[in-house]
Structure 1
């Protein structure tokens, strides 16, 4: 067996197929390969484009489960757009890292909760918030990502307004 050491800069500058190969090797070596999601058969489930109202409804359904809320809001970040029809991809390992969950299985559980909440919001048991590929990526509709980003922005603006009002009430009179 021969080992090699690569710097993060070398990995970052490597061609995409090489980075993907390294990623898969690390995932397999650490035993972090994602479990396939529990879902209805592929021919009946379909990825949907969620509006901001859909996302707000999903958020309302999962708000008591902080890890699921964190996973949902991870999709406010820009993903990689590809394919026809276009989908946005997000690496499950990135979601795991950003949400500080301990294993991919926890991310998958949160994603399944989000999928289930969407079926309730949409009143469509075949609607899916996200799908998965065999490379460890989560797939969502670009419209869904835009809706989550818009909802996140609205939430931040409301929080800033509330903070400004609170600061105004606390400020001493001059």
Structure 2
């Protein structure tokens, strides 16, 4: 058995998967793993799987609120999938850090804006874009995460194509 010591700063600066692994190892070493359930939290069963079109509609609703846009695209990053039915989990602290917000309250406000935007896009007040658990995680459907990542990729490809066209139009013809 080999042990290592990490400072709080080292853990804080570690990539998200490493921090999540450390979190799981601590839970296992304290014997708390048997208390966790293999099923998704009850709130997760209400989450809808969103298409790329749904996410484009949500983006259109929140376009002027940059913190909410940042939070939306943070959820396009790979998360941890667990439970039955499967959900993608994201630590609220990671979203806070990556979106450069001031506190968890701002993250939750942005996530609630996303929930509200989806209800408007789908014209259904019962749909939920995301949920929360009691351990500081945001939960979304795996298809929703994939749709957000696809939307981001599509937007980047369009921007690169527009920049290439613009650069090509600036090139003077040879004399």
**1:173: how far off?**
2.9
In 1, the alpha carbon distance for the partners of 2:132 and 2:96 equals 15
Aligned to 2:127: 127
* C-alpha spacing 1:20/1:163, structure 2 compared with 1 (3 Å): farther
TM-score normalised by structure 2 residue count: 0.77
Aligned length: 148
Deviations 1:7-58 (A, max 9, x none): 327x85746242799xxxxxxxxxxxxxxxxxxxx88x92100011110110
- For structure 1, the 5+ residue unaligned runs are 22-41
List aligned pairs for 1:156-167, cutoff 5 A.
Answer: 156-167=156-167
Cα RMSD of the aligned pairs, angstroms, is 2.4
Moved over 3 A (4+): 11-15
List aligned pairs for 1:1-174, cutoff 5 A.
Answer: 6-7=6-7, 8=10, 12=18, 14=22, 16-18=24-26, 46-174=46-174
* C-alpha spacing 1:97/1:124, structure 2 compared with 1 (3 Å): same
> SS of the residue aligned with 1:156?
helix
In 2, the alpha carbon distance for the partners of 1:163 and 1:90 equals 33
- For structure 2, the 5+ residue unaligned runs are 30-41
**1:75: how far off?**
1.1
**1:96: how far off?**
0.4
